[in-house]
């Protein structure tokens, strides 16, 4: 994430390729990051919720694979079957925090892009012919967040099937 708004230092950071470019894509990206700065300044609820989830998401994404792996290994033993299953479920719930974070990120990103497009149009930073191109760039960028959420949900489903399959095999 080279292009981003850092709420801790209240600074927009842009990569050299964005900062030193006058392309429609670069202007759109910079305006999108300004959108995040405005969200932060206005106390936009979804960005506050996302920020509050960051520590839990980091914890969950780090701990989840370990818990799931240990849980699955323990389900191989009749003696530790229930404990292993519970441990794997806890890991799965911890990983679910990632999907929740990504879900909350969607309105944040779409709103920042909407703000960017409104600003670019109202301030006449881009022409009427350039606005649709900026919209395509920002929409494509937003779809990467949708793809990340779908990927996380697919991983949760896959892990749930693996965990339930391991439990069912021992009974």
What span, in angstroms and rounded, lies between the C-alpha atoms of 44 and 47?
A: 6
Specify the pLDDT at position 1.
64
Its pTM stands at 0.85
Specify the pLDDT at position 81.
86
Q: What is the CB-side half-sphere exposure of residue 104 using CA atoms within 13 A? A: 18
Specify the pLDDT at position 45.
96
Q: State the catalytic residue, choosing from 33, 42, 121, 130.
A: 33
User: Other CB atoms closer than 10 Å to residue 90's CB: what's the count?
Assistant: 15
Structural element, H or E, at residue 12:
strand 11-13
Q: Which candidate, 115, 138, 118, 137, places its Cα nearest to that of 47?
A: 115
Q: How far is CA 78 from the centre of its chain?
A: 38
Domain range annotation of the chain: 4-170
Beta strands in the chain (DSSP E): 4-6, 11-13
Cβ(95)–Cβ(64) below 8 Å: yes
Average pLDDT along the chain, 171 residues, taken 10 residues at a time? 90 95 96 96 96 91 94 88 93 95 96 96 95 95 95 95 73 49
Judge whether 33 counts as a catalytic residue. yes
Phi, psi of 165 (to 5 degrees): -65, -40
| Distance from the first to the final alpha carbon of the chain | 46
């Amino acid at each position: 994430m080279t292009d981003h708004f850092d709420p801790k230092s209240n600074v927009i950071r842009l990569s050299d390729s964005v900062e030193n470019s006058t392309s429609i894509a670069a202007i759109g990206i910079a305006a999108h990051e300004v959108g995040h700065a405005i969200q932060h300044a206005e106390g936009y609820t979804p960005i506050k919720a996302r920020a509050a989830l960051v520590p839990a998401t980091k914890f969950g994404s780090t701990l989840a694979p370990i818990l799931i792996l240990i849980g699955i290994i323990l389900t191989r033993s009749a003696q530790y079957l229930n404990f292993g299953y519970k441990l794997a479920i806890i890991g799965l719930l911890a990983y679910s925090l990632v999907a929740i974070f990504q879900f909350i990120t969607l309105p944040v990103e779409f709103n920042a892009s909407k703000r960017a497009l409104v600003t670019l149009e109202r301030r006449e930073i881009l022409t009427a012919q350039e606005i649709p191109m900026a919209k395509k760039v920002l929409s494509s960028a937003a779809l990467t967040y949708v793809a990340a959420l779908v990927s996380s949900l697919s991983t949760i489903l896959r892990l749930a099937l693996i965990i339930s399959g391991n439990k069912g095999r021992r009974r």
